Amino acid sequence: MNHDCRQGEHHLTSKLSYVALVIIVIGAACLVFAGVKLSDVSVTQLARSDESVWYWTFNLTRGKTYRIDILAGSKWGRDYYAAQFTEPQPVNVTITSVTGGVTSLQAFFYSILPENPYYPEGTPPTIVDVKWQNVDDTNIRAITSAMKILITIKQSGPYTVRVLVEGLWSEAPPNYFALVEVFTPNSDTYSLMAFGGGIAAMTGGVTYVASVFRKRRMKPPKIHK
């Protein structure tokens, strides 16, 4: 009787191990699929200033995510080289929201030195990092993990982006501002799928480890003659 019970428990434990492995595979597949979909981002340039100015106003729509591009002019590049900078330099930027709230940040610009053999002639400095200082949470959600100026809008209306002269290594304004809409299809759905896949993989892993230890405990002791 004890032998039959032990065989039954062993069969149940083996079945549990199999189910745990299936759960791990399904969870991992959900994680990979969701990750691929979340990285499937499309971008569309909606507007840009047609002249070199210190600020520009864009009409933004609630719920949408935008990237704000600031293109440095050639004067920025020449002054960057003249100052012999070797590290990215901060440019102070503000975004005035529809209700008057102000978001402030530093966009760090970097340029390849002209003597670099890979330097394309005329290439201006570009943004390589962003440090958010103050965010108008009522109207803007800053995506702080991005290395560009990336925001999601909470209230529709006009938003003014301004480059401040204070702290800038050049006296010239940027070449232009551009507004790019960033779109991830069904991002909420795939984020939920990634979360569920992670939970499933973790649960399956714990279950599998528990079943392995259970099997070891069920092994009959060796009889020494």
Does residue 34 sit in the same domain as residue 46?
no
Does residue 123 sit in the same domain as residue 58?
yes
Task: Give the pTM.
Answer: 0.64
Does residue 59 sit in the same domain as residue 156?
yes
Average pLDDT over residues 145-153: 91
- What is residue 204's predicted lDDT score, i.e. its pLDDT? 65
Within a domain: 34: yes
Within a domain: 223: no
Proportion of the chain above pLDDT 70, given as a percent: 61
33-37, 105-109, 166-170, 204-208: least confident range: 33-37
pLDDT tens digits, 126-139: 899 999 999 999 99
Does residue 136 sit in the same domain as residue 202?
no
- What is residue 211's predicted lDDT score, i.e. its pLDDT? 61
Contact 52/183 with Cβ under 8 angstroms? Answer: no
Does residue 108 sit in the same domain as residue 85?
yes
CA 177 from chain centre, in angstroms, equals 22
3-state secondary structure 35-59: HHHHCCCEEEEEEECCCCCCEEEEE
Q: Tokens standing for 116? A: 């670099």
Phi and psi angles of residue 52, each rounded to the nearest 5 degrees, phi first: -85, 110
**CATH number where 55 lies:** 2.60.120
63-67, 92-96, 182-186: least confident range: 182-186
Average pLDDT over residues 183-187: 60
| Total structural domains within the chain | 2
Mean pLDDT score of the chain, rounded to an integer? 78
Does residue 87 sit in the same domain as residue 53?
yes
Residue 184: pLDDT over 80: no
Contact 90/127 with Cβ under 8 angstroms? Answer: no
Within a domain: 16: yes
Residue 170: beta bridge partners?
none
Does residue 145 sit in the same domain as residue 64?
yes
Within a domain: 225: no
Does residue 203 sit in the same domain as residue 130?
no
Residue 61: pLDDT over 70: yes
Within a domain: 224: no
Residue 48: pLDDT over 90: no
Does residue 136 sit in the same domain as residue 60?
yes
Strands 65-71 and 55-60: what pairing? unpaired
Between 104 and 17, the more confident residue is 104
Does residue 77 sit in the same domain as residue 176?
yes
- What is residue 1's predicted lDDT score, i.e. its pLDDT? 47
Average pLDDT over residues 156-173: 93
20-29, 174-183, 196-205, 215-224: least confident range: 215-224
Helices (H), the chain: 2-38, 74-82, 187-218
Domain of 146, in residue numbers = 42-183
Does residue 147 sit in the same domain as residue 134?
yes
Within a domain: 169: yes
**SS3 at position 162:** strand
Does residue 172 sit in the same domain as residue 121?
yes
Within a domain: 100: yes
